[in-house]
């Protein structure tokens, strides 16, 4: 009897544990080749972007993990359709497995890959594993697409018991590993590891992800409902980059958090709140899959008439963390220094850019995507359209954050602000959110580039006028 051969193409599933597609391949083949492809079409021109460096670190740790099991990860560079058909040919594989992806670019790529693989006589095994439920699984009673989070969340939880449980402990690989030479990428991978640690990006890999989940569940989840909004507190899981690249499975997060809640009922409130945030991630993935245009266009068409009148100089001040509003500047500097920003502050800086500065949310989203270690098309466009009031279930247009009050509320002592803005470290706490009011404002920190109360009125006018034109 001849042995069946297959390839597994790792993409946004950079893990061995609870990898549904890989488990399905192991059921079907005897021999396999694990493959990762650096696709220039996807990575863009800058290999130093935080999310690309984090990705390289995760690939390098996946390679080590496989190697400790006597399996060699084949790392190639190029167009996936070409690389995979060559590999199918070289290994005489019958099946190519990979996890389904939903961005418009990924869908186009996967169609090309599927067609090319079929042409060389192999078949594809594609399973959706990046979210607990796929975009077509949670539908309204009328079989429509949800556009509001709360009913989606209720429908999601109503089906939770149907979702397969995670299999974290189980790593099952096909019996025999094939080995093919990698492209000469070792230098890129090892340099990524060192540059990752230089700027303080989190360590990649499954072990780091599992540790983070464990310490969050042990130390922080019970207070999550309260502490998650205070950026000076280490109150959130920081699992977003790992979820982004599938280094940990979302099912595992749900299962382990619920197990903790069952064992410690006092923690259940925090557990439910945290898991509802993970359902936001599923919601935005579902929205993007059903409406790919949300990446580049307003979900609410009435705002197509908005006049984005902010200037390039204002955008630069925002980007560099020099707007004169401390909570906004601290957030933008946290982003530049660490590749990550606290969720509450993401909301504040996005509101400031779109409403106070009237700058198009797409410019902000692009900058975030290029700067964040967790830059994710679905959650990023979802978060930006939420803040700009142009999205599915977004802030009403007249809700405009006052950056001074937001700072006072969520960072009352200015601990977070002082952490990222050295110019304000010495200022009295009563002036930390409005340094321009101090008798002697710090000379090296800018005055506010705009007056919030004036800009608020301008934004309301601009939004009302767009709505009137769009009606
Ligand atoms: C303008 C803006 C842009 C954003 N861009 C991204 C992005 O590119 N990538 C990204 O992963 N998240 C994005 N978010 C959502 C959120 O800010 C981050 O997921 C969160 O800050 C990550 O930190 P954490 O892992 O400690 O979150 P936790 O509070 O521990 O939450 C657990 C997980 O739930 C998910 N989650 C939490 N909040 C949200 C949310 N509002 N929307 C979608 N998923 C959520 C994330 O996967 C997160 O890791 C954005 C939010 C805003 C307002």
Q: Is residue 257 located within the same domain as residue 329?
A: no
| Structural Rg of the chain based on CA atoms | 24
388 and 346 Cβ atoms separated by less than 8 Å: no
Q: Is residue 22 located within the same domain as residue 55?
A: yes
Ligand 1 contact via 229 beta carbon (within 6 Å): no
213 and 206 Cβ atoms separated by less than 8 Å: no
Nearest to 14, CA basis, from 176, 255, 242: 242
User: Residue 247 corresponds to which tokens in the numbers above?
Assistant: 């280094």
67 and 73 Cβ atoms separated by less than 8 Å: yes
Distance 234 CA to ligand 1 centre (A): 15
164 CB-near residues (< 8 Å, 6+ apart): 20, 251
Residue 36 pLDDT: 96
Ligand 1 contact via 338 beta carbon (within 6 Å): no
The closest residue, in CA terms, to atom 19 on ligand 1 is: 240
Q: Is residue 349 located within the same domain as residue 452?
A: yes
Q: Is residue 320 located within the same domain as residue 411?
A: yes
- 422 within some domain: yes
Ligand 1 atom at shortest distance from the alpha carbon of 239:
25
From first CA to last CA, the distance across the chain in angstroms is: 68
Ligand 1 contact via 381 beta carbon (within 6 Å): no
Q: Is residue 217 located within the same domain as residue 102?
A: no
205 and 15 Cβ atoms separated by less than 8 Å: no
Ordered DSSP codes for 378-421: HHHHHHHHHHHT-STT---TT----HHHHHHHHSTT-HHHHHH-
User: Residue 240 corresponds to which tokens in the numbers above?
Assistant: 């977003």
Ligand 1 contact via 350 beta carbon (within 6 Å): yes
Residue 187 pLDDT: 41
Q: Is residue 84 located within the same domain as residue 120?
A: yes
**CA atoms of 123 and 105, how far apart (whole Å):** 21
**CA atoms of 448 and 445, how far apart (whole Å):** 9
- 12 within some domain: yes
The closest residue, in CA terms, to atom 4 on ligand 1 is: 380
| 379, 392, 393: residue to mutate for ligand 1 pocket, most atoms within 8 A of CB | 379
- 268 within some domain: yes
**CA atoms of 323 and 436, how far apart (whole Å):** 12
In the DSSP assignment, the letter for residue 373 is T
Q: Is residue 135 located within the same domain as residue 279?
A: yes
The domain of 144 spans 131-170+205-290
The closest residue, in CA terms, to atom 43 on ligand 1 is: 281
CATH number for position 397: 1.10.579.10
Domain closes at, from 290, 317, 335: 290
CATH number for position 57: 3.40.50.620
206-219 and 50-67 helices, crossing angle to 10° = 110
Q: State the catalytic residues.
A: 277, 280, 308, 343, 361, 384
Buried b (16+ CB within 10 A) or exposed e, 388-414: bbbbbbbbebeebbbbbebbeebbeeb
| 221, 272, 281, 393: residue to mutate for ligand 1 pocket, most atoms within 8 A of CB | 281
Domain closes at, from 130, 152, 180: 130
Buried b (16+ CB within 10 A) or exposed e, 161-188: eeeeebbbeebebbeebbeeebeebeeb
312-320 and 326-338 helices, crossing angle to 10° = 70
Query: Which parts of the chain sit beneath pLDDT 70?
Result: 1, 168-169, 185-199
Ligand 1 atom at shortest distance from the alpha carbon of 342:
21
- 98 within some domain: yes
Ligand 1 contact via 379 beta carbon (within 6 Å): yes
Distance 447 CA to ligand 1 centre (A): 31
Q: Is residue 403 located within the same domain as residue 263?
A: no
Ligand 1 contact via 209 beta carbon (within 6 Å): no
- 454 within some domain: yes
Residue with tokens 């020099």: 322
**CA atoms of 314 and 308, how far apart (whole Å):** 12
Q: Is residue 126 located within the same domain as residue 147?
A: no
| 240, 341, 393: residue to mutate for ligand 1 pocket, most atoms within 8 A of CB | 240
Distance 69 CA to ligand 1 centre (A): 34
> CA 81, 85, 86: angle at the middle one, nearest 5?
120
Tally the domains of the chain: 3
Residue 186 pLDDT: 45
Nearest to 61, CA basis, from 98, 42, 36, 25: 36
Judging by DSSP bridges, how do beta strands 74-77 and 31-38 pair with one another? parallel
- 453 within some domain: yes
- 150 within some domain: yes
User: Residue 207 corresponds to which tokens in the numbers above?
Assistant: 């072990």
Q: Is residue 331 located within the same domain as residue 220?
A: no
215 CB-near residues (< 8 Å, 6+ apart): none
The pTM is what? 0.96
Q: Is residue 286 located within the same domain as residue 152?
A: yes
- 410 within some domain: yes
Residue 470 pLDDT: 76
Residue 445 pLDDT: 98
Ligand 1 atom at shortest distance from the alpha carbon of 283:
43
**CA atoms of 384 and 392, how far apart (whole Å):** 11
Backbone angles phi, psi at 272, to 5 degrees: -65, -40
Q: Is residue 277 located within the same domain as residue 419?
A: no
Ligand 1 contact via 376 beta carbon (within 6 Å): yes
**CA atoms of 44 and 57, how far apart (whole Å):** 17
CA torsion, points 283, 286, 292, 296, in degrees to nearest 10? Answer: 10
**CA atoms of 9 and 84, how far apart (whole Å):** 8
Judging by DSSP bridges, how do beta strands 5-10 and 176-177 pair with one another? unpaired
Domain closes at, from 234, 269, 290: 290
Ordered DSSP codes for 204-237: -SHHHHHHHHHHHHHHTGGGHHHHTT-TTS--S-
**37: which strand partners?**
76
In the DSSP assignment, the letter for residue 175 is S
Nearest to 366, CA basis, from 315, 324, 326: 315
Ligand 1 contact via 110 beta carbon (within 6 Å): no
Ligand 1 contact via 384 beta carbon (within 6 Å): yes
**CA atoms of 52 and 64, how far apart (whole Å):** 18
């Amino acid at each position: 009897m001849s042995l069946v051969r297959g390839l597994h193409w790792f993409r946004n599933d950079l893990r061995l544990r609870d990898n549904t597609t890989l488990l399905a391949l192991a059921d079907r083949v005897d021999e396999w080749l694990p493959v990762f492809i650096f696709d220039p079409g996807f990575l863009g021109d800058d290999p130093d972007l935080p999310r690309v460096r984090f990705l390289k670190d995760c690939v390098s740790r996946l390679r080590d993990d496989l190697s400790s099991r006597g399996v060699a990860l084949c790392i190639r560079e190029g167009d996936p359709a070409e690389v995979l058909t060559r590999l199918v040919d070289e290994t005489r594989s019958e099946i190519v497995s990979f996890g389904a992806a939903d961005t418009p670019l990924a869908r186009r790529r996967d169609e090309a890959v599927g067609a090319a693989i079929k042409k060389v006589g192999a078949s594809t095994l594609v399973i959706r594993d990046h979210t607990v439920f796929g975009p077509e699984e949670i539908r309204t009673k009328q079989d429509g697409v949800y556009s509001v989070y709360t009913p989606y969340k209720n429908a999601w939880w109503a089906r939770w018991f149907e979702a397969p449980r995670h299999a974290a402990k189980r790593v099952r690989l096909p019996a025999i590993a094939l080995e093919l030479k990698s492209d000469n990428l070792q230098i890129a991978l090892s340099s990524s590891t060192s540059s990752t640690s230089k700027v303080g990006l989190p360590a990649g890999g499954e072990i780091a992800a599992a540790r983070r989940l464990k310490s969050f569940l042990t130390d922080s989840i019970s207070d999550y409902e309260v502490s998650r909004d205070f950026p000076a507190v280490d109150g959130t899981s920081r699992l977003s980059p790992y979820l982004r690249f599938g280094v940990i499975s979302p099912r595992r997060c749900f299962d382990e958090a619920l197990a903790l809640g069952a064992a410690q009922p006092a923690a259940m409130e925090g557990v439910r709140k945290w898991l509802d945030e993970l359902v936001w991630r599923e919601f935005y993935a579902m929205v993007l899959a059903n409406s790919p245009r949300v990446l580049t266009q307003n979900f609410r068409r009435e705002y197509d008439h908005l006049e984005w009148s902010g200037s390039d100089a204002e955008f630069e001040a925002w980007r560099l963390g020099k707007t004169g509003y401390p909570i906004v500047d601290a957030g933008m500097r946290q982003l530049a220094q660490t590749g990550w920003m606290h969720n509450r502050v993401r909301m504040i800086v996005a509101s400031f850019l779109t409403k106070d500065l009237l700058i198009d949310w797409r410019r902000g989203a692009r900058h975030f995507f290029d700067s964040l270690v967790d830059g994710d098309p679905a959650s990023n466009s979802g978060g930006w359209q939420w803040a700009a009031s142009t999205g599915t279930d977004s802030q009403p247009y007249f809700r405009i954050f006052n950056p001074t009050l937001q700072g006072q509320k969520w960072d009352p002592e200015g601990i977070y602000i002082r952490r990222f803005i050295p110019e304000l470290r010495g200022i009295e706490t009563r002036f930390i959110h409005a340094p321009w009011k101090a008798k002697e404002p710090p000379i090296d920190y800018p005055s506010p580039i705009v007056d919030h109360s004036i800009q608020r009125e301008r934004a309301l006018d601009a939004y009302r006028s767009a709505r009137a034109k769009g009606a």
